[in-house]
């Protein structure tokens, strides 16, 4: 059985997250919730990472839950102070985090990695990773960002979750969980640190290029249950999904307003 360690990476990710406080916990309800509460109590310094062996109430977008197996998957959150990022650019933080995860998975030769809008990471069309971004705003600017990440690393069983997968299932190889943690956390921080010099449109184009089912006829479901066919063409500046209907009309969708069926 082969373990893949960080020194096999082609892009040279460091195994250390320099000058970053890492808090490791055995069990907690949610690493995002823990960081939010901790920041209220002690006013956290910039760049703190919380990693939990077991997350009892991991959260996805809205009411979705995230389930992971102890010792075989990763659940962690990255706290980053953001200086005067306009509130109308909140989706930039989603894109940067998702692209950071995608870059690491690509470097580890996980096949067919794509981003399913808005922030699920897929391999071979199955869900490998979920991202939950929670921001603090002051007036019209974002001041802090918490990027929560759930990544299936070596897990091989997913009860009643036929569309779930892991790095191990997708590649046939077993990974060093700690090395993957350092690689992903480090790349997320690198991406978030670049915000002052980041061109929103450049990142938007990079994100759109990685979108699952982009430019392909797909079937969608509305909250009322009705289905329609359309083509994902990209995203709006707000992060809304742009779908072209069969008659050529374009429609924008926010989270939970549409479900991609595949």
pLDDT in tens, 176-207: 999 999 999 999 999 999 999 999 999 999 99
pTM over 0.85: yes
In whole angstroms, give the CA distance from residue 9 to residue 85. Answer: 32
User: Closest Cα partner for 121 from 132, 51, 218?
Assistant: 132
Cα-based angle 118, 121, 126 (whole degrees, multiple of 5): 115
Give residue-wise pLDDT tens across range 99-156: 999 999 999 999 999 999 999 999 999 999 999 999 999 989 999 999 999 999 999 9
pLDDT for 109 equals: 97
Tokens of 68: 């992971």
> What domains appear along the chain, each with residue ranges and CATH number?
10-209 (3.30.930.10), 217-261 (2.30.30.100)
For 258, residues 6+ apart whose C-beta sits below 8 A from its C-beta are 220, 221, 222, 241, 243
Written as one string, the DSSP assignment of 50-72 is EEEEEETT-B-STT-B----TTT
Tell me the HSE value of 218 on the side-chain side, using a 13 A CA sphere: 20
In terms of residues, how long is the chain?
262
Is the pLDDT score of 64 beyond 70? no
């Amino acid at each position: 059985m082969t373990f893949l360690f960080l020194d096999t990476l082609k892009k040279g990710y460091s195994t250390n997250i320099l000058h970053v406080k890492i808090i490791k916990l055995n069990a907690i309800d949610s690493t995002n919730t823990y960081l939010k509460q901790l920041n209220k109590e002690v006013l956290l310094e910039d760049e703190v990472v919380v990693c939990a062996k077991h997350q009892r109430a991991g959260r996805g977008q809205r009411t979705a839950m995230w389930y992971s197996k102890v010792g075989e998957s990763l659940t962690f959150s990255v706290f980053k102070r953001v200086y005067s990022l306009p509130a109308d650019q909140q989706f930039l933080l989603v894109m940067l985090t998702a692209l950071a995860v995608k870059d690491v998975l690509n470097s580890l030769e996980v096949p067919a990695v794509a981003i399913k809008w808005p922030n699920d990471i897929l391999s071979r069309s199955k869900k490998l990773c979920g991202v939950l971004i929670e921001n603090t705003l002051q007036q019209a600017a974002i001041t802090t960002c918490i990027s929560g990440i759930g990544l299936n690393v070596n897990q091989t069983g997913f009860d009643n979750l036929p569309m779930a997968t892991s790095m191990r299932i997708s590649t046939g190889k077993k990974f060093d969980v700690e090395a993957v943690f350092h690689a992903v956390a480090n790349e997320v921080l690198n991406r978030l640190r670049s915000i002052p010099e980041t061109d929103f449109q450049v990142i938007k184009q990079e994100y759109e290029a990685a979108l699952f089912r982009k430019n392909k006829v797909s079937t969608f479901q509305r909250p009322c249950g009705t289905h329609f066919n359309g083509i994902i063409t990209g995203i709006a500046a707000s992060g809304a999904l742009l779908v072209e209907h069969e008659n050529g009309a374009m429609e924008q969708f926010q989270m939970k307003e549409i479900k991609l069926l595949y």
